[in-house]
Structure 1
Amino acid sequence: MHKANDGQFVATKSVQRRFMANGVRRIEINTDGLYGVLFLPEGEGPFPGIINLFGGYPGVLEFKSALHASHGFASLTLCYFGMEGMPKSFTNTIDLAYFEKAVQFLKQHKAVQGELGIGLVGICKGAQVALAMASCLDDIRCMVWVNCTINAVCGSIAYKDMYWPEQQMKTNVKIPDGPIPLIDFFDVPEEGELVNMVDGVFPFYNRPDVSYMFIAGSDDQCAAAKRSAREAEILLNRAEHPDFEIAYYEEAGHMLEPPYSPHCSVLFQPGPTFDIALKCGGELIAHCKAQEHCWHKQLSFLKTRLQ
């Protein structure tokens, strides 16, 4: 706490949070070209398996997989750029063959209920990759998409003879002095317009065997999340898909993380192409309430589809 008049500290308090329950095991994975960290719940299992994919942060972020394991899932947080031997940037063309290898690794792990299929959880660029995986890879049972697009943005995606070109950024946008709202650098489609971008939209809606959850913050300043989730809803209804959920959160921003995580209104995007501060959006109280609500929805969705 600070004094209102001179900004000096009058009191401080440190709060330590545990992301990993007692008995959860942390295993580094660096084999056959895969790199990540696998978290396993206490006990022998087998457990339902999840792959966690983050956005534009290089390497791995472990806290969400640790929390998933604390709730009974075998959770692999997977690196896909920014480490030695891997692409330097997520804006390079992403080949889904690497992620296919990760799916099979987790499916065949002795502690994983591989016969049920694998769940995917992705946010930002990770949600985009997860949606592409769910569109064409085998052994995907369900996926959670958080605040991204349903087409390739900030880099193209490829798998075998399939290719999704990236949506081009605007070149006539004035760069602000402060944090950048990345959404301003893309043409946000009107309702129904994105549905017609056949070459750029992933064909996830053609997979009736995959269950989907889309979570979108209406004040996301990094991606057209609400508009994209609405387009996903149109496509899934048109395909008469049997199992999907769409959740919209008014005044929530981009970084929808587990409950009680600090509201991240601005983030620094490291790495080639970027190295800039990005505006994430979100009204403080509404965003924090959305984090708490959507986390429990995710856990319930994953448990019912993977068990």
Structure 2
Amino acid sequence: MQQLSLNKIKQYLLGIALCYATVVTSQDFEKVDATVSFYPNSFITDQALATQIKKDFTDPKEQLRAGYSWLINNVAYDPQEYYTYKFQYRILEERNEKMAETREGIINRTVQNGIAVCEGYALTLERVCELLGINAYVVRGDTKTQPSDIGRPFDKNHMWLVAIIDKKPMLLDPTWGAGRYNGTFIKSPSYAYFDTPASQFLKSHYPEIFDDAYVFFDLSKEEFSKQPLLISEQLTIDAIHPKQGILKSKMLSKGIVFSLPGIKAEKITYTLDTPEKISADFQKEGHGIQCTITAKTKAQSLVIYADDIPIIAYKIKK
């Protein structure tokens, strides 16, 4: 099989991590999503979008869902947007003015042109919430999307949203909900990142200010970084083995036992840097599975699949 470049491998792993996300919200928003599907694919202003939502819905959760639904169905991720708004400043006042102008420009391009990066998705949804009277704010932080992210220092590389409705925090990431990027944007609307349970969200998103994680336990940036990439919502870090996300190639050559409680499968396979799947010996153990993987390899990543669905990934080092 032809070898993939490291960049292609990263894009592939990001794709599978996002592709198999599942819907975790409990409230039925079928009517909301159906109504929003008839909205135009662009609006002249953010106010026009908010006005349309307010006309159709009065419940704050439904309004929030409508804003999220419109974004993930009509806005494409385009990394070129990173270079659209760059500015220099000499004094603090000038910086603040240009930052405000930049924010408006990003929101306008998002609703008018249907293109954005995470900043556009998050700022636009925050603005719609503001216009609708919903308490919401943008969160900046780090995300893990591929094995190469395991073990690296904290990187403030992403933006998502927290909305507070009925005193309950709701975590949302419309960027990840819109689809995935694999050299080009692949539209794949998902509601898995609408009101995602906090403990699930923290598997891949770590906020700059930890209180914005809204979990009942502590997790440091270093601990988050060292964890494996938990793709399946069935897996929890306290139950799996190994818990460390970096595997030594020498240990892997001798064989490593993986315990994955919560996983049900008829087939366990794994990949080493390429999409080619290799069968693994496994046994069902209680409410999960245990498998042994032995591989002499120079690969940098290991991804384990249950019935061809990726569930967990590790980094490999010498």
Q: TM-score, normalised by structure 2?
A: 0.20
Structure number with greater Rg is 2
TM-score scaled to structure 1, two decimals? 0.21
Between structures 1 and 2, the one with greater helix share: 2
